[in-house]
């Protein structure tokens, strides 16, 4: 069997971190199994779907490296849904219902008040042809429900949750089509999964009840359902479902200078028994991907963990991976020197400014100004040194008796304007002799 997964967002808004995690796991599983990853745009809601969001979804997936092998749009398949709908209608598996939203809400409240589950009572099935005609004469248009088979228990072996069992009599017949003829999610999705050869559906555990219903839809459509894996939902650091997670998307990550590799590394592993590790290459994450390692407990998304992971991954990025994002004159040697001091890639410009100048050194004490004047003279004498920093500090130590912080700190501050940073032995050649002499002279005044 050739594995085929799908990520099926509705283009009614931007992707958030939960969507991204779903897309990632579908992509990783397909890549591990040598299969196909499909992007399916569930754009049946013409009123809310927006081409701007379609482009944003494509751009976000590309930025994350989750390139789909195929793309399909539900809006191009309405004739196909109509065809299958008519077959289900002829088979008695869909039926019209005429209750208004207010009437259905009242029914639910009454059932809840009696301590019963708020399940649709199938009152529409008891309507006579004359009663239906009368309702339509009043201007009521039906919505359509899929009729569940109450005599057939629903079971499946979930890749994450294990054996699942549902009594269909405890589920409402789902609405599959609105009064205006537009489609809801579940029936078009099942038809697409069949037609497009989807073998595995990986999604959040909030879809478990939908899966139970869709399994009967697959059978009613004459097909075997795909395999399902329902993963635990993301929660915030407070341990609860957070609305904030719904606003965290690629744009917010980019604003915070988070690398796509960091997002992938975190979302690939949180909620599993594998440790979250800083990896710049996705291949180790793909090779170890296994549904058996996914836990049932909610997966906790922590901003601070992502920030720390991002810093570690920046320290792993090689020059070829970032050269297009570096200052024009910054070469591989300079990247190697500056990289260990970066919190994120936004810091590159600051550190390159330290190299190229101008800098602003702190005000020095009279003793340190005298020391820096001597340092400039020694540096001129050592101009041809192959190890200028080592030879300079050695000569100054011998000449002044200074050592440790009193020896190194005034030099660092005069040469960089900072009291921390890259190893001066590596940084000084980047600054260059001419600039270093000028900075020492300026700080000594």
pLDDT tens per residue, range 162-210: 999 999 999 999 999 999 999 999 999 999 999 999 999 999 999 999 9
Straight-line distance from the first to the last Cα atom of the chain, in angstroms, rounded to the nearest whole number: 77
Percent of the chain at pLDDT > 90 equals: 94
Q: Work out the pLDDT band at 229, boundaries 50, 70, 90.
A: very high
Q: According to the model, what pLDDT value does residue 247 have?
A: 79
Where do the domains of the chain lie, and which CATH numbers do they carry?
A: 4-79+184-233 (3.40.50.620), 319-355 (no CATH), 357-443 (1.10.10.350)
β-bridge mates for residue 6, sequence order: 38
Q: According to the model, what pLDDT value does residue 244 have?
A: 76
pTM for the model stands at: 0.91
Q: According to the model, what pLDDT value does residue 241 have?
A: 63
Q: According to the model, what pLDDT value does residue 384 have?
A: 77
- Per-residue pLDDT tens over the stretch 416-431: 999 999 999 999 999 9
Residue 390 scores a pLDDT above 70: yes
β-bridge mates for residue 39, sequence order: 7, 71
Q: According to the model, what pLDDT value does residue 338 have?
A: 96
Task: Read off φ and ψ for residue 194, nearest 5 degrees.
Answer: -70, -55
What is the distance between the alpha carbons of residues 342 and 334, in angstroms, rounded to a whole number? 13
Under DSSP, the state recorded for 25 is H
For the segment 33-47, the average pLDDT, to the nearest whole number, is 95
């Amino acid at each position: 069997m050739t594995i085929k997964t799908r990520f099926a967002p509705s283009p009614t808004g931007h992707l958030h971190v939960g969507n991204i995690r779903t897309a990632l796991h579908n992509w990783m599983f397909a890549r591990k199994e040598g299969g196909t990853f499909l992007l399916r745009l569930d754009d049946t809601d013409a009123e809310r779907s927006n081409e701007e969001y379609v482009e944003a979804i494509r751009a976000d997936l590309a930025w994350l490296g989750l390139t789909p092998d195929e793309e399909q749009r539900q809006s191009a398949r309405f004739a196909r849904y109509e065809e299958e709908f008519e077959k289900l209608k002829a088979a008695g598996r869909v039926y019209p219902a005429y209750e208004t939203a207010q009437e259905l809400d009242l029914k639910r409240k009454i059932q809840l008040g009696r301590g019963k589950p708020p399940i649709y009572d199938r009152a529409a099935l008891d309507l006579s042809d004359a009663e239906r005609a009368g309702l339509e004469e009043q201007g009521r248009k039906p919505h359509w429900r899929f009729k569940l088979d109450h005599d057939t228990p629903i079971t499946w072996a979930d890749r994450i949750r294990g054996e699942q069992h549902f009594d269909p009599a405890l589920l409402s017949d789902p609405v599959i089509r609105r009064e205006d003829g537009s489609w809801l999610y579940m029936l078009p999705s099942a038809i697409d999964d069949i037609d497009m050869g989807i073998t595995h559906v990986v999604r959040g555990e909030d879809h478990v009840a939908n899966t139970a219903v869709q399994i009967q839809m697959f059978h009613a459509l004459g097909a075997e359902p795909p395999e399902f894996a329902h993963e635990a939902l993301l929660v915030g650091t407070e341990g609860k479902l957070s609305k904030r997670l719904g606003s965290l998307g690629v744009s917010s990550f980019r604003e915070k200078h988070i690398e796509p590799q960091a997002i992938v590394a975190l979302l690939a592993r949180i909620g599993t028994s594998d440790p979250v590790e800083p990896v710049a290459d996705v291949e180790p994450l793909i090779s170890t991907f296994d549904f058996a390692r996914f836990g049932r407990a909610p997966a906790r998304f922590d901003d601070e963990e992502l920030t720390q992971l991002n810093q570690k991954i920046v320290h792993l990025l090689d020059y070829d991976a970032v050269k297009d994002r570096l200052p024009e004159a910054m070469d591989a040697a300079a990247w190697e020197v500056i990289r260990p001091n970066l919190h994120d890639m936004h810091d590159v410009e600051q550190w390159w400014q330290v190299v190229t100048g101008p800098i602003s050194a702190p005000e020095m004490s009279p003793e340190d100004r005298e020391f820096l004047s001597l340092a400039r003279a020694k540096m001129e004498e050592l101009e041809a040194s192959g190890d200028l920093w080592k030879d300079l500090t050695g000569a100054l130590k011998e000449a002044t008796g200074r050592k440790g912080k009193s020896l190194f700190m005034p030099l660092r501050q005069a040469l960089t304007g900072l009291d921390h940073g890259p190893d001066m032995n590596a940084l000084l050649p980047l600054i260059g002799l001419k600039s270093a002499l000028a900075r020492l002279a300026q700080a000594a005044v």
